[in-house]
Amino acid sequence: MTLLEAPPVTGAPTTPRWRAAGRVAARVGAPGTAVVYLSLLVLIPLAALSVAAFHGGWSAFWAGVRDPESWAALKLTVLSALVVVVVNTIAGTAIAWVLVRDQFVGKRVVASLVDLPFALPTIVAGLTLLTLYGPNSPFHLDAAGTRFGVWIALAFVTLPFSVRAVQPVLSELERDAEDAASSLGARSPTVFRRIVLPSLAPAMLSGAMLAFARAMGEYGSLVFISGDRPFATEVASLRIFGLYENGQNNQAAAVSLALLSLSLVVLLLGGVLRRRLTRPEFG
Amino acid sequence: MRRLLRRFGLRTAVLAYLALLVIVPVGSIVYRAFAPGLGTAWHDLANPSGATSAGFFHALILTLLVAGIAVPLNAVFGVVAAVVLARHRFPGARLLDAAIDLPVAVSPVVVGLALVLVYGRAGWFGGWLAARGIQVIFSIPGIVMGSAFVSIPYVARAVLPVLQEIGTDQEQAAATLGASPWQIFWRVTLPSIRWGLAYGVTLTTARVLGEFGALSVLSGNVVGHTQTLTLYVGYLFEGNLDTVGAEVGAVILAVLALCVLGVLSLAGREKGSRSWLSRFARSPRGSRTSSLSTTSP
Amino acid sequence: MPRLPRIVGALLPTALLVSALAALIGVPTAGAAEGTINLVAYSTPAAAYTAINVAFSKYPAGAGITVAGSYGPSGTQATNVINGQAADVVNFSLEPDMEKLVKAGLVSAKWDTVGPDHGMVTDSVVVFIVRKGNPKHITGWKDLVRSGVQVVTPNPFSSGSARWNLAAAYGAERKLGRTPAQAQAYLKALLSHTAAQPSSASAALATFLSGTGDVVLDYEDDAIAAINKGDPIQYVIPPQDILIENPIAVTTQAANPTAARAFVNFLLSKKGQELWAIEGYRPVLPGAAAAASVTFPTPRQLFTIASLGGWTKVEKTFFDPTTGIVAKIEEGLGQSTASG
């Protein structure tokens, strides 16, 4: 319909009032609605969390975080996330390498399976891992109630992040430099270390940061396999749930804020580091 | 020769890792759920310890209802936010960009706690809501909010880079031809982002279907009323009512997840097999990186 | 595909509007429907209530009433009700959780004047649930702290059952003639033998059944229900044991107070108490067990929480999250078991 309208003949195009109003509405109303929605759902609740965490001032917040069981939970969470991220960054890069550079029957299936831990509800993931690594394990690999069980669950849920961060970069990588290097006599490990790795490093770091933030907050898959033992396998999310269950909302908020801040710092750091590492010719 | 061995070795190692971590566990739960036979499995799920099947079907309906509300809400928000960020300049754009990514960093249990602190009886708006007889927490609106919170970023993050890549040429052309903002949006913008939108909506749906942590805090776990499928599975297992039933429920959820994966890979193929996560990883030339780090370099 | 946006454009706002309205009106919101009462209870009686609710609906007073049940750890459920969860009837594992609600104005302070047993609806005792055949030969409290024995007991800060378990352990030691200090040392030994501390009694039993630990401390009624289900377990009632008493009340904010009161009256009536007995719960109404042809053995040295000073004292001394004896024990143990 608009194609058949003759364009305005005289100089400045005339805009009907309602159309101008529509434009203003679009410019103000749209971001406005988005902000209101975000506020009601995300920003205000997080603000309430901060207020509850500092209910009683800095000393109360600090006391809540340094409470022996909460402090142990936070330490365990960070430690477990680190272990799992290191393992999965290596494994994820290896998996991405195989998916991009290798060819074998069923590769497509494997590629989709990598995404499964993301699509699967965490509680199902927990039950799934329990059947294989719990007390009824057919291989007698009982990891329930141990830190190893926690690591297995975290590795499961963070795997997609590690693989998918690296895979597209790897598939876009030009092989010229690698081929040149190997034709000059460099062996594969050297080629990998000197040429491929530096190009992959930003992506690996990205994936690692996302995986870390994810692992820090994980809850559903840990509920059954961890055994929820204070000081031993009780991670921060389980501790927060326990504090909430007992009606200690302010302490729960304090530990939550500490956990959230750690995740945010890691994500921000990751972004900064990644930009530092990204060479000009790739971005 | 060495190269062949190395490649074979790496492939085996990778497949072994995936088998131990993903394939075998998922396979064994499917086996355990259906080993006693399909009929038994169905019976166990729908009738834990002789109770009526209301629990399971209510959970299924509730899950679909929650998804039916939370996903469109986030889809609209995601598209609006992406359009706003890609096409307009306004004070606070950077903040909006960062705020959209916040839910990724928040543990689900913390999500539940934060929402209770605002909308619970003793919360900031709790008194106001209670006086009007509106029940948010421990009822369906609370479940919708919790599910929406955790899945906010996905549509926005899927659509934003598409908008940035395609540019404003077509939209400007439509504008000079006299189209109104609404027409531009429906006829030009929306069709161009449809695959990104489909991608984002699928991810959002997957996340909403799988939410558990926030709902453990928020829902009140009322059997047949405020239990989603994930909560129902947890309840069956933890309440020692039926471990096999829980496993069957888990398998159903897993099958749903696989369907989601199927849709994702289809949508991905259309877009040229860009993985959704690549949006978090790479920095497209000339445009902002779509991650939390939007602070200036 | 120019048609796609038009369809989407038409459907999306409509779907949104409808959904938003439905959500606001609160489609099947628990409690909004006519003749529904919201029951908030501790974790264990989920299966029992299913059977009892069916009987209640056949009762004249219960015609047309549906009971919507929420089950979870006793402490958590109390917290949820205080945080706004809809509740017409509350049934907790122990008194202190009821007192929390009295303090919040959600239950009348006179809740304990109802019924034949000052507000209680069922009794029970602490039992040791072991694997079938009792391979580790656990018969008494001393066996729980033998080397090599792994115990499962819920987290005392969320679960009522856990608090009963620990109160029973302490009281048993005192009955055996030990001093308070020795009894506390026993608690420490017991807690150092725990393999897992899930959040509720049901979770603890589920954990035990999936293979963790040699013995789980639980309610007698939970054990009976599990055996009736065919789980490969048996249970031992220790000679020194505490009488578990589970309180029930109608809340002040009940949306359906008449129906709620009818339900509670049914649960306390002869018929209701007989049903409880059949489900494995010790009735509070004398004669109900016999009428249902169920016998419950009496432990040789049965005591009540009153002999330990009452729940208020026990809660404060033992279960205060920061200064309580149990909290201090857990903390002390944590430093040494941190190697996990």
What is residue B259's predicted lDDT score, i.e. its pLDDT?
83
- Residue C188 CB burial class (10 angstroms; 0-12, 13-18, ≥19): middle
Min mean pLDDT across A184-188, A272-276, C11-15, C204-208 is at C11-15
How far is C236 from B265, CA to CA, in rounded Å?
56
**What is the band of B108 on the pLDDT scale with cuts at 50, 70, 90?**
very high
- Residue C279 CB burial class (10 angstroms; 0-12, 13-18, ≥19): buried
Whether B234 contacts chain A with CB within 8 A? yes
- Residue C55 CB burial class (10 angstroms; 0-12, 13-18, ≥19): middle
What proportion of chain A, given as a percentage, has pLDDT over 90? 32
Q: Do C340 and A134 touch (CB under 8 A)?
A: no
Residue B199 lies in a domain: yes
**What is the band of A53 on the pLDDT scale with cuts at 50, 70, 90?**
very high
Min mean pLDDT across C14-28, C33-47, C291-305 is at C14-28
Which of A2, A127, A259 has the CB atom closest to B237's CB atom? A127
Which residue in chain B is spatially nearest to C1 when comparing CA positions?
B191
Residue B292 lies in a domain: no
Number of CB pairs < 8 Å for A and B? 313
**What is the band of B291 on the pLDDT scale with cuts at 50, 70, 90?**
very low
Min mean pLDDT across A5-9, A168-172, C249-253 is at A5-9
Split into its structural domains, chain B has a count of 1
The enclosing domain of B52 has a CATH number of 1.10.3720.10
Residue B221 lies in a domain: yes
In this model, does residue C29 exceed pLDDT 50? Answer: no
In this model, does residue C52 exceed pLDDT 60? Answer: yes
Q: Which residues of A touch C75 (CB under 8 A)?
A: 245-247
Q: Which residues of B touch C69 (CB under 8 A)?
A: 222-223
Q: How far is CA C174 from the centre of its chain?
A: 25
What is residue A139's predicted lDDT score, i.e. its pLDDT?
77
Whether B51 contacts chain A with CB within 8 A? no
Provide the shortest C-alpha distance from residue C31 to chain B (in Å).
9
Q: What is the mean pLDDT of chain A?
A: 83
Q: Do C84 and B121 touch (CB under 8 A)?
A: yes
Which residue in chain B is spatially nearest to A149 when comparing CA positions?
B21
Q: Which residues of B touch C24 (CB under 8 A)?
A: 134, 141
Domains along chain C? Answer: 36-122+244-291 (3.40.190.10), 124-243+298-335 (3.40.190.10)
Q: Do C83 and B120 touch (CB under 8 A)?
A: yes
Q: Which of B163, B151, B150 is closest to B82 using CA atoms?
A: B163
* Range among A56-60, B284-288, C17-21 with highest mean pLDDT value: A56-60
Q: Which residues of C touch A244 (CB under 8 A)?
A: 79
Taking only residues 156 to 215 of chain B, the set having a beta carbon closer than 8 angstroms to any beta carbon of chain C reads: 186-187, 190-191, 194
In this model, does residue A104 exceed pLDDT 90? Answer: no
In this model, does residue A125 exceed pLDDT 70? Answer: yes
What is residue A81's predicted lDDT score, i.e. its pLDDT?
95
- Joined together, the tokens standing for residue B209 give 């279907």
Residue B8 lies in a domain: no
Q: Which residues of C touch B239 (CB under 8 A)?
A: 43, 46, 71, 202, 206
Q: Do C334 and A246 touch (CB under 8 A)?
A: no
What digits encode the pLDDT tens for the residues C282-316? 999 999 999 989 999 999 999 999 999 999 999 99
Neighbour subunits, B (≥3 Cβ pairs < 8 A): A, C
In this model, does residue A5 exceed pLDDT 80? Answer: no
In this model, does residue A152 exceed pLDDT 90? Answer: yes
**What is the band of A25 on the pLDDT scale with cuts at 50, 70, 90?**
low
Which residue in chain B is spatially nearest to A26 when comparing CA positions?
B181
Domains along chain A? Answer: 18-53 (no CATH), 58-282 (1.10.3720.10)
Beta strands per DSSP E along chain B: none
Whether C257 contacts chain B with CB within 8 A? no
What is residue C106's predicted lDDT score, i.e. its pLDDT?
94
* Range among B10-14, B161-165, C294-298 with highest mean pLDDT value: C294-298
Taking only residues 123 to 182 of chain A, the set having a beta carbon closer than 8 angstroms to any beta carbon of chain B reads: 123-124, 127-129, 131-133, 138, 152, 155-156, 159-161, 164-169
Q: Do B69 and C46 touch (CB under 8 A)?
A: no
Q: What is the pTM of this model?
A: 0.83
How far is C111 from C100, CA to CA, in rounded Å?
12
In this model, does residue B293 exceed pLDDT 50? Answer: no
Q: Tell me what ipTM this predicted complex has.
A: 0.83
| Percent helix / strand / coil, chain A, rounded to 5 | 75, 0, 25
Q: Which residue has the tokens 């929306």?
A: B190
What is residue B48's predicted lDDT score, i.e. its pLDDT?
55
Residue B28 lies in a domain: no
Q: Are A95 and A160 in contact (CB under 8 A)?
A: no
User: A245, A248, A249, A251: which to substitute to probe chain C, counting the most C Cβ within 10 Å?
Assistant: A245
- Residue C6 CB burial class (10 angstroms; 0-12, 13-18, ≥19): middle
In this model, does residue B286 exceed pLDDT 70? Answer: no
What digits encode the pLDDT tens for the residues B109-124? 999 999 999 998 888 9
Taking only residues 81 to 120 of chain B, the set having a beta carbon closer than 8 angstroms to any beta carbon of chain A reads: 81, 83-84, 88, 90, 92, 96, 99-119
Report how far apart, in Å, the C-alpha atoms of A12 and of each of B54, B225, C284 are. Answer: 67, 61, 90
Number of CB pairs < 8 Å for B and C? 131
Whether A162 contacts chain C with CB within 8 A? no
Beta strands per DSSP E along chain C: 36-42, 66-72, 89-91, 120-131, 151-152, 194-196, 215-219, 233-236, 240-250, 282-283, 301-303
**What is the band of C18 on the pLDDT scale with cuts at 50, 70, 90?**
low
Mean pLDDT on C11-32? 49
- Joined together, the tokens standing for residue B52 give 């009526």
Provide the shortest C-alpha distance from residue C231 to chain B (in Å).
10
Residue B138 lies in a domain: yes
Q: What is the DSSP letter of A6?
A: P
What is residue C9's predicted lDDT score, i.e. its pLDDT?
45
What is residue B274's predicted lDDT score, i.e. its pLDDT?
45
Which of C197, C207, C322 has the CB atom closest to A230's CB atom? C197
Q: Give me the domain span that covers residue B66.
A: 36-281
C36-42 and C66-72 beta bridge pairing: parallel
Report how far apart, in Å, the C-alpha atoms of B297 and of each of A67, A164, A202, A203, C114 are. Answer: 38, 25, 15, 18, 69
Q: Which residues of A touch B254 (CB under 8 A)?
A: 120, 124, 128
Q: Which of C69, C68, C71, C79 is closest to C101 using CA atoms?
A: C79
Which of A130, A145, A231 has the CB atom closest to C195's CB atom? A145
The secondary structure of B63-92 as a DSSP string is HHHHHHHHHHHHHHHHHHHHHHHHH---TT
Residue B70 lies in a domain: yes
What is residue C93's predicted lDDT score, i.e. its pLDDT?
92
Min mean pLDDT across A67-76, A181-190, B150-159 is at A181-190
Residue C311: CB atoms within 10 Å: 20
Whether B179 contacts chain A with CB within 8 A? yes
Q: Which residue has the tokens 């909004």?
A: C32
Residue B195 lies in a domain: yes
Q: Are C282 and C45 in contact (CB under 8 A)?
A: no
Helices and strands (H, E) in chain A, number of each type = 14, 0
How far is B161 from A85, CA to CA, in rounded Å?
27
How far is A196 from A79, CA to CA, in rounded Å?
29
